[in-house]
Amino acid sequence: MSKERRYLITTADERTWEFDRPVVFLGEWCRLYDRKHIWQDMDAIVAPPYGLGVAKKDADYAEARTLEDMLFPLLCNTLNQHHGVQHNERFWRIVFGHWLRRYVNVMINRVKTLKQCFDVYDILGATFYANDDYSLATTDSLSAIWAFNDDEWNNALNARILTLLNLINFPVKTIEKAQSPGFRFNALGTAPKLKRKVLKCGRQLVGKCLSWFARDNDVFIINSFLPKKEEIKLHLAFQQCPKLWTSPRLELSEKADKVLRESLSNKMVSKFSYNNLQDVLTLMLLELLPICYLEGFKNLDNLVKQQPWPKFPKFIFTSNNFDKDEVFKLWAAIKVESGVKYFIGQHGNNYGTYRYMNPSIEELTADKFLTWGWADGLTQHTPAFVFQTAGKKTKSYNSQGGLLLIELHLEHRFVTWDGTFEFASYFQDQQHFIKLLESQPRQKLTVRLHGAYQHLSWDEVDRWQAFDPTLKINTGGGTITELISQSRLVVHSYDSTGILDTLSQNIPTLAFWQNDFDHLRESAKPYYQLLVNAEIVHLTPESAAQKVNKVWGDVDNWWGQSDVQDARRKFCEQYAKISQNPLSQLKKSLSI
């Protein structure tokens, strides 16, 4: 049977489209909602999504970790030799481990998505940017995350992959980029409000003043995820002046050196086979490696040396800066290599439960990884409690209030499967859930969009208004605590940190999500099953809506039932533990 012939479109940039012939969109990310009037009348189809289903995800996850384990020592040796140093593998894992893991996932997704598309369709052409002066190397790991969603970057990446795979046997049209040479990405956030700017400046001023009292052997605590009051108490518990340490923004002037990177890549790949995924990932590793680890590494090191941080800290503790803060990571890696203990706290959900983060880089690199109650196989795991609510008053809710539906945002494209397709299915489930609500809860409904919704292209507000212009949509006005205080029932539409928060605070909670328990580790499933049995967690929008309708008249009565409370307590004891003496417990956990 002959394949259907179509022109390949890989991004949402319409300058790379053709309108006078049959086309295939590589994925849903190509079809922006606000451009529906353009693409809906085209002779177009969307290629089948890649990598869905637990069996395929498991297989790709296993392959990704194998490739990561193969590439990691290669990159360590290459950087050691190039920089004239002899850092150990733990040092480098702290510095670039998170980026490397995302790199492997992204490359598996992009390579296999293209291969699958070419297996299904006979590609009659494609349009790519003229990319002789374009670099796939971003400044740092944070900009790499945004690159994974960028049209120009993905267009250049796809062209490179197709070349390496020897799949370009069709006419290629080239166009000039709209931007100047180099990487561009979406804005990282909207301009902060005046009040936030003033508070930030105030914190920086206070932090600078407090740093004058720093001693070289102080414990170093930065972004602990504790409330600021509790973090200050923690400093005092270790008999030191409280500090409000901040990390400087990394700004590098260096550009990617194409000749250097080609030379280093050739040393890593002696013989290349276009059918070998390992060879493709090895050859492109240096093409995508962030500049701060290669050309800009010396300047990054100089910036680290300028920080007024302790020279010989008793230990380092963070719950946030271990991933995308290049200055902190290099400083921490240097200290850890000299013998300083490195403690990391859990930041949000997924830890201990998520099937495809087992274990995380931060769990592997820490001397102790402080969890919110669980332990799952590593000696680093040290059960603790939910940090973000430590010492705070229990959240309140209104037993006669409204219904709050908390939404997920479109994720960045750095998983092995087609997350955009999954999100489209997720969004349909959200609408179906609302359709099934009876009039009273629906009239009281507020849909809370995730704070990151505006930075990725899904146009949630427009989609919701098209679905029901009478819906109350909250786009970030007021805190989530304020919204919960006005609600009688909180519904989480995905497995989230919010679930841990409201359950641990004993707020009436429901949750539903797609794909059943496919995202969970085997060790976590029995605890989630407790919530399913108590009808707190639901695995379909129909079941969740039916439960809302059933309990709406007296939510407190349902929530107070012994089986519901028993399931909630058992789950929270494992994954969202509350401490009556958080400071004492944390000090003990951080003892060397």
**What's the rounded Cα separation, in Å, for the pair 445 and 437?**
9
User: What confidence score (pLDDT) does residue 31 get?
Assistant: 96
User: What confidence score (pLDDT) does residue 209 get?
Assistant: 56
Compute how many other C-beta atoms are within 10 angstroms of the C-beta atom of residue 389.
21
Strands 172-175 and 121-129: parallel
Q: Which residues share a beta bridge with 368?
A: 343
User: What confidence score (pLDDT) does residue 191 get?
Assistant: 42
Q: Which residues share a beta bridge with 354?
A: 520
The conformation of residue 530, written as its DSSP 8-state character, comes to H
Q: Tell me the Cα Rg of the chain.
A: 25
Output phi, psi for 143, to 5 deg: -65, -25
Contact between 294 and 86 under an 8 Å Cβ cutoff? The reply is no
Map out the domains of the chain with their CATH numbers: 54-188+253-293 (no CATH), 194-251+296-385+581-589 (no CATH), 402-575 (3.40.50.2000)
Q: Inter-axis angle of helices 151-164 and 89-120, to 10 degrees?
A: 80
**What's the rounded Cα separation, in Å, for the pair 567 and 114?**
45
User: What confidence score (pLDDT) does residue 93 get?
Assistant: 98
Strands 509-512 and 537-538: parallel
User: What confidence score (pLDDT) does residue 179 get?
Assistant: 53
The DSSP annotation for 244-293 comes to ----PPP-------HHHHHHHHHHH-SS--TT-HHHHHHHHHHHHS-GGG
What are the tens digits of pLDDT across the range 526-568? 999 999 999 999 999 999 999 999 999 999 999 999 999 999 9
Q: How many CA atoms lie within 13 A of 248 on its CB side?
A: 17
Element (H, E) at 100: helix 89-120
* Helix, strand, coil % in the chain, rounded to nearest 5: 45, 10, 40
- CA torsion angle for 361, 363, 364, 369 (degrees, to 10)? 150
The dihedral sign for the CA sequence 241, 246, 252, 257: positive
Q: Which residues share a beta bridge with 123?
A: 6
User: What confidence score (pLDDT) does residue 436 get?
Assistant: 98
Q: Quickly tell me which residue has 């969603």 as its tokens.
A: 149
Vertex 70: Cα angle to 146 and 319 (nearest 5): 50
Show the low-confidence residues of the chain (pLDDT under 50). 180-192, 195-196, 198, 200
Task: Tell me the two tokens of residue 174.
Answer: 């080239």
Element (H, E) at 342: strand 341-345
The DSSP annotation for 389-414 comes to TTTPPPP---TTSEEEEEPP-PPPS-
Which of 10, 297, 27, 310 minimizes the C-alpha distance to 137?
Answer: 297
**What's the rounded Cα separation, in Å, for the pair 215 and 69?**
39
pTM of the model: 0.94
Output phi, psi for 97, to 5 deg: -60, -40
